[in-house]
Structure 1
Amino acid sequence: MPASVEELLPDALLETIRGRAAGYDEANSFFHEDFADLVEAGYLKMFVPEADGGLGYSLEEAVRAQMRLAGAAPATALAVNMHLVWTGVARVLQARGDNTLDYVLAEAGRGEVFGFGVSEAGNDQVLFDSRTVAAPREDGGYEFTGTKVFTSLSPAWTRLGIFGRDDSGVEPQLVWAFIDRDKPGYRIKDDWNTLGMRASQSNTTVLEGAVAAPDRIFRKLPVGPNPDALIFGIFACFEILLSSVYAGIGTRALDLAAEAVHRRRSLKTGKSYAQDPDIRWRVADAALAMDGLYPQLASIARDVDTLADHGKLWFAKLAGIKIRATETAKDVVEKAVRVSGGGGYFRGGELERLYRDVLAGLYHPSDDESAHSTIATAWLGPLDD
Structure 2
Amino acid sequence: MTDFEPAAHLPDEMLERFRERAAIHDRENTFPDQDLAELKAAGYLSILVPVELGGGGLGMAEASVLQQRLAGAAPATALAVNMHLVWTGVAKVLSDRGVDALRFVQEGAVAGEVFAFGISEAGNDLVLFGSETDAAPQPDGAYAFTGTKIFTSLAPVWTQLGLHGLDATSADAPKLVYAFVPRSDAVVTRDDWDTLGMRGTQSRTTELHGALAPPDRVVRRIDPGPNPDPMVFGIFSVFELLLASVYTGIARRALDLAVETAGRRRSKKTGKAYSQDPDIRWRIADMALAYDALPAELAALSRDVDTLADHGARWFSLLAGIKHRAVTMAKRVVDDAVLVAGGSSYFSASELSRLYRDVLAGLFHPSDPESAHSTVASAWLGPVQD
Partner of 1:210: 211
Partner of 1:286: 287
> Matches of 1:344 and 1:6 in 2, distance apart?
29
> Matches of 1:67 and 1:229 in 2, distance apart?
26
Does residue 177 (structure 1) correspond to residue 173 (structure 2)? The answer is no
Partner of 1:149: 150
> Matches of 1:374 and 1:254 in 2, distance apart?
30
Q: Is the 8 A contact 2:290 2:333 kept in 1?
A: yes
1:147 alignment partner, SS class: strand
TM-superposed deviation, 1:104: 0.9
TM-superposed deviation, 1:184: 2.7
Code of the aligned partner of 2:13: A
> Matches of 2:328 and 2:149 in 1, distance apart?
26
Q: Is the 8 A contact 2:137 2:170 kept in 1?
A: no
Code of the aligned partner of 2:175: Q
Partner of 2:220: 219
TM-superposed deviation, 1:169: 3.2
2:127 alignment partner, SS class: coil
TM-superposed deviation, 1:32: 0.5
Partner of 1:53: 54
TM-superposed deviation, 1:3: 5.7
Partner of 1:276: 277
Deviations 1:271-324 (A, max 9, x none): 111111011000000001111111111110010001000011000000000001
Q: Which runs of 4+ in 1 moved over 2 A?
A: none
TM-superposed deviation, 1:241: 0.3
Partner of 1:160: 161
TM-superposed deviation, 1:4: 2.6
> Matches of 1:294 and 1:264 in 2, distance apart?
29
| CA RMSD between the two structures | 1.0
TM-superposed deviation, 1:379: 1.3
Partner of 2:305: 304
TM-superposed deviation, 1:137: 1.0
Aligned length: 383
Q: Which moved more, 1:51-60 or 1:189-198?
A: 51-60
Deviations 1:141-174 (A, max 9, x none): 1111100000001111111001111111353111
Deviations 1:41-94 (A, max 9, x none): 111010111122210000000001000000000000000000000000000000
Deviations 1:181-211 (A, max 9, x none): 2x33110000000000000000000001101
Partner of 2:324: 323
Q: Is the 8 A contact 2:4 2:62 kept in 1?
A: no
> Matches of 1:380 and 1:341 in 2, distance apart?
44
Q: Which moved more, 1:103-112 or 1:355-364?
A: 103-112
1:341 alignment partner, SS class: helix
Code of the aligned partner of 2:113: E
1:168 alignment partner, SS class: coil
Partner of 1:266: 267
Q: Is the 8 A contact 2:64 2:302 kept in 1?
A: yes
> Matches of 1:375 and 1:137 in 2, distance apart?
40
Partner of 1:74: 75
Partner of 2:382: 381
Note closer, same or farther for the CA distance 1:65–1:156 as it changes in structure 2 (3 Å cut): same
Partner of 1:110: 111
Does residue 32 (structure 1) correspond to residue 25 (structure 2)? The answer is no
Unaligned runs of 5+ in 1: none
> Matches of 2:185 and 2:192 in 1, distance apart?
20
1:307 alignment partner, SS class: coil
Deviations 1:13-50 (A, max 9, x none): 11111111000000000000111111111110101111
> Matches of 1:209 and 1:100 in 2, distance apart?
23
Does residue 188 (structure 1) correspond to residue 210 (structure 2)? The answer is no
TM-superposed deviation, 1:107: 1.3
> Matches of 2:213 and 2:98 in 1, distance apart?
25
Q: Which moved more, 1:356-365 or 1:374-383?
A: 374-383
Partner of 1:127: 128
Partner of 1:257: 258
Does residue 16 (structure 1) correspond to residue 17 (structure 2)? The answer is yes
Code of the aligned partner of 2:169: S
Code of the aligned partner of 1:180: P
2:208 alignment partner, SS class: strand
Indicate the percent of aligned positions where both proteins have the same amino acid.
61
